[in-house]
């Protein structure tokens, strides 16, 4: 199953890609390859940062998919402050070389979207979940279970974009947001969820299954 209604480069990056590539070509035309090399490397970094490749979506409706590319840095019982319940928390850390599009981890209705201004400490730190700028989405799955997934800004991530709002229906793998330049996504699941990933594991948005809720 494929669900990919957007190009292979995130729309948020089109201006950055155009400027960086255009500048690199201009410097190359006006000077030489040696002088233009730093600008070419910058352009290459910008292009790879805003890549947004298609992904295959698992069919099982009872699994929770990773909302982001990155590395698992947290699997623990924690308090979901957005729903005020105890939950299983799974966190994905995204470095600057990961794809930064965020995708819905499950099918369901968006019940609430909560934005909080905050700090910009390293997203790898536990305190980033409660102190950094963040945006939380509460979703009611088709089976009635509720989950929360939170975009968290990082040390140099200064822009959280979320395109969904209460009342909308998200589909697994559907693109719902973007975070620029390094960050994390926290996922809060019911305590009956069974984690299917481990600390340090590298994950891909949509394709990696984080947990199962039966």
Q: Is the dihedral of CA 93, 85, 115, 8 positive or negative?
A: positive
- pLDDT at res. 184: 87
d(CA 152, CA 182): 9
Q: Examine the domain organization and report whether 90 and 17 are in the same domain.
A: no
Q: Examine the domain organization and report whether 116 and 185 are in the same domain.
A: yes
Residues 6+ apart with CB under 8 A from 165: 110, 113
Q: Examine the domain organization and report whether 15 and 103 are in the same domain.
A: no
Q: Examine the domain organization and report whether 27 and 84 are in the same domain.
A: no
Assigned domain for 170 exists: yes
Q: Examine the domain organization and report whether 44 and 70 are in the same domain.
A: no
Residue range 178-189: mean pLDDT, rounded: 86
Assigned domain for 1 exists: no
3-state secondary structure of 39: helix
Q: What is the pLDDT of residues 108-155, one digit of tens each?
A: 999 999 998 866 555 555 665 766 788 999 999 988 999 999 999 866
Total tally of structural domains belonging to the chain: 2
Global confidence as pTM: 0.84
Assigned domain for 58 exists: no
Lowest average pLDDT, out of 114-128, 149-163, 176-190, 194-208, goes to 114-128
How many helices (H) and strands (E) the chain has is answered by 3, 14
Domain that holds residue 40: 11-49
Is 190 a residue whose pLDDT tops 80?
Answer: yes
Q: Examine the domain organization and report whether 167 and 190 are in the same domain.
A: yes
Could you say which of 91, 101, 129, 183 is catalytic? 183
Confidence of residue 97 (pLDDT cuts 50, 70, 90): confident
Q: Examine the domain organization and report whether 111 and 164 are in the same domain.
A: yes
In terms of Cβ atoms closer than 10 Å to its own Cβ (0-12, 13-18, 19+), residue 155 is: middle
- Name the pairing type of β-strands 194-195 and 63-65: unpaired
Assigned domain for 96 exists: yes
Per the document, the length of the chain is 214
Q: What is the pLDDT of residues 7-47, one digit of tens each?
A: 677 777 788 889 989 999 998 898 888 888 999 998 888 88
> Is residue 91 flagged as an active site residue?
no
Q: What is the pLDDT of residues 51-96, one digit of tens each?
A: 888 888 998 888 999 999 999 999 999 999 999 999 999 999 988 8
């Amino acid at each position: 199953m494929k669900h990919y209604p957007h190009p292979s480069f995130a729309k948020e990056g089109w201006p950055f890609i155009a400027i960086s590539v255009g500048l690199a070509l201009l410097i190359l035309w006006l000077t030489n390859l040696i002088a233009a090399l730093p600008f070419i490397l910058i352009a290459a970094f910008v292009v790879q940062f805003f890549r947004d490749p298609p992904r295959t979506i698992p069919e099982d409706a009872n699994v929770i998919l990773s909302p982001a590319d990155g590395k698992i840095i947290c699997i623990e019982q924690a308090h979901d402050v957005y729903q005020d319940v105890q939950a299983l928390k799974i966190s994905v850390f995204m470095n600057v070389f990961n794809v930064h599009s965020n995708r819905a981890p499950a099918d369901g209705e968006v019940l609430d979207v909560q934005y909080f201004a905050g700090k910009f400490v390293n997203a790898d730190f536990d305190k980033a979940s409660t102190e950094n700028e963040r945006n939380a989405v509460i979703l009611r799955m088709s089976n009635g279970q509720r989950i929360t997934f939170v975009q968290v800004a990082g040390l140099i991530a200064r822009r959280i974009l979320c395109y969904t709002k209460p009342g909308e229906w998200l589909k697994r793998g559907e693109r719902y947001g973007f975070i620029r330049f390094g960050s994390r996504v926290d996922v809060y699941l019911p305590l009956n969820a069974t984690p299917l990933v481990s600390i340090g594991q590298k994950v891909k948005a949509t394709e990696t299954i984080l947990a199962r809720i039966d």
